[in-house]
Structure 1
Amino acid sequence: MTITTERTGIGAELRRWRRVRRISQLELAVLAGTTQRHLSFIESGRSQPGRAIVIRLAESLRLSLRERNGLLAAAGYAPVFSESGFDEEALRPVRTALEQILYGHLPYPALVVGPHGRVVAANDAVEVFTEGASPELLTPPVNMFRLMLHPDGMAPRVRNFAEWGRHVIQGLNARAHRSPDPRLDEFVAELAGYVPDAPVGPDHLGFAVPMRLASADGELRLITTLTSFATATDVTLAELHLEAFLPADQATADLLRLRAERRAAT
């Protein structure tokens, strides 16, 4: 009876992920280096897959490390990817490297973000984002997406909020599509409620324009770069992103440098 439950579990999970990825049994079998017949037997519960083929199937489905561990568990195997706390000794070299990157990005804002927008680390320049924000939004753990889109956060200062906010929501929806998660769906629904509906104008180019952020020193125009840790083998590290903001014009660069000099003088 135990074996049957495990077989049903892995079969159902494989079918679910194939539907999410919109891939046929034949396509997945080719990618994973097996046969459609074998894959069909796994999905129907007639065959118990070995750990190696489960790992190949998870890789072929482009699952995250957490999702790969979940697929292994559905097949009755122990996780192969560790999950360390960000403050644990195992990730100390990574923390040190990230701190150096954050410091090196000054005077421009940069932060390390975990799942669903949780801020893990940031440099001093992110104070331009917290300017005038409600204390409730700045209570750890700070959520960057909520800080950006909440009406008590950055939203009133973003001059092109409708367009820029819609771009943020689209990015989160794409992430939710890749890795379905009811908690993420609920969070995106909350954030979407903060962003006003706005018609797409004739000059819309299909990608985000620089964020136009009002500050005490003047308007800033910022573009974003996003870095992920694609070759990580630790679940925690694989789920982190480094989000770095760059000035879109010289005026913004000058203002951010001015703010840095002012912080250093206090």
Structure 2
Amino acid sequence: MIQGRPVGELLREWRHRRGLSQLDLAIQAQVSARHVSFVETGRTIPSSAMVLRLAEHLGVPLRERNRLLVAAGHAPVVRERPLEDPHLMPARDALEQVLRGHEPYPALAVDRRWNLLFANAAIDVFLDGVDASLLRPPVNMMRLGLHPDGFARRVNNLGQVRGHLLPRLARQAAQSGDPELHALYDELRSYGPEGDPPPPDPAGIALPIRIEHRGAELCFINTVTTFGAAFDITLEEIAVEAYFPADEDTARFFRSRAPATAG
């Protein structure tokens, strides 16, 4: 989003992004289609309540809702504080507890641009042998996974992984309108073969990730958790990725390391 653009133009862009007509949005938000049209064309300046109402039905992220409010001449209503803020200490502690509780298996927390925030001790299996330049903060986990000098060279099913991650990143970039995510997508796409990666298997529940690690193949599936009732922009944008062993050999490998990774 570019600062200074009128609120109607921004709302129209979000409506197009969601594939809705003015009538669709009007029905969902229980307002007239004429009112939606007037807001989008600038004939009506919406109240803060109307901005938030339309944003809610458009699924606009909290960060962008603040920008819509400012564009309409209103004050932002959703707070954004750094994780170091004392008020977010309980949330930060809860995050770290979740990651520690997942040991001996890897788990990590990332921000909206896939930059690493926290990780548990078992994450070392992904960092082993990675080029030092990719470990300088902020460490981007998408880049780390698909860059030729990251752990991509140790992924035995890299084509499948690219086919899963790149469409996911493209959707996130399109839904958020974040230019940095678009740039990250273009960068990561350039690391692979020409053309689009093969699409993921629609019948697959979870994609296995197979990584060579010191002579052994470790196989994972992963889950992604977000804060559905976040009250702060920073918290809404955090995702927790937890990796589970996909076979008994991988589970045995991590159980054998449990004393070294605990705590």
Normalised to the residue count of structure 1, the TM-score between the two structures is 0.91
Structure 1 letter corresponding to 2:169: L
1:87 to 1:53, Cα distance in 2 relative to 1, 3 A: same
Secondary structure at the aligned position of 1:49 is classed as coil
1:195 and 2:192 aligned: yes
Which of 18, 32, 35 pairs up with 2:15?
18
1:178 to 1:203, Cα distance in 2 relative to 1, 3 A: closer
Q: Is the 8 A contact 1:65 1:233 kept in 2?
A: no
Which of 209, 212, 230 pairs up with 1:211?
209
Q: Which of these two proteins has the greater Rg computed from alpha carbons?
A: 1
In 2, Cα distance between equivalents of 1:203 and 1:176: 18
Secondary structure at the aligned position of 1:85 is classed as coil
| Structure 1 residue 206: Cα displacement | 5.6
2:226 alignment counterpart: 228
| Structure 1 residue 181: Cα displacement | 2.1
Which of 154, 174, 180 pairs up with 1:183?
180
1:3 alignment counterpart: none
| Structure 1 residue 8: Cα displacement | 7.3
| Structure 1 residue 153: Cα displacement | 0.9
Report the identity percentage.
46
| Structure 1 residue 143: Cα displacement | 1.0
Q: Which whole-Å deviations, capped at 9, do the CAs of 1:168-210 have from their partners, x for residues lacking one?
A: 1111011112112222111111011122358988994465530
Superposition pairs of residues 96-107 of structure 1, within 5 angstroms: 96-107=93-104
Q: Is the 8 A contact 1:217 1:255 kept in 2?
A: no
Most deviating of 91-100 and 12-21: 12-21
**Unpaired runs of 5+ in structure 2?**
none
Q: Which whole-Å deviations, capped at 9, do the CAs of 1:98-150 have from their partners, x for residues lacking one?
A: 11111110000000000211000000000000011111111222111111111
In 2, Cα distance between equivalents of 1:199 and 1:13: 30
1:259 to 1:152, Cα distance in 2 relative to 1, 3 A: farther
1:117 alignment counterpart: 114
1:233 to 1:199, Cα distance in 2 relative to 1, 3 A: closer
1:55 and 2:55 aligned: no
Which of 242, 245, 253 pairs up with 1:244?
242
In 2, Cα distance between equivalents of 1:79 and 1:104: 36
Normalised to the residue count of structure 2, the TM-score between the two structures is 0.92
Superposition pairs of residues 141-160 of structure 1, within 5 angstroms: 141-160=138-157
Q: Is the 8 A contact 1:117 1:143 kept in 2?
A: yes
| Structure 1 residue 94: Cα displacement | 0.4
| Structure 1 residue 256: Cα displacement | 1.5
1:260 to 1:216, Cα distance in 2 relative to 1, 3 A: farther
Which of 79, 83, 90 pairs up with 2:87?
90
In 1, Cα distance between equivalents of 2:103 and 2:172: 29
**Unpaired runs of 5+ in structure 1?**
1-5
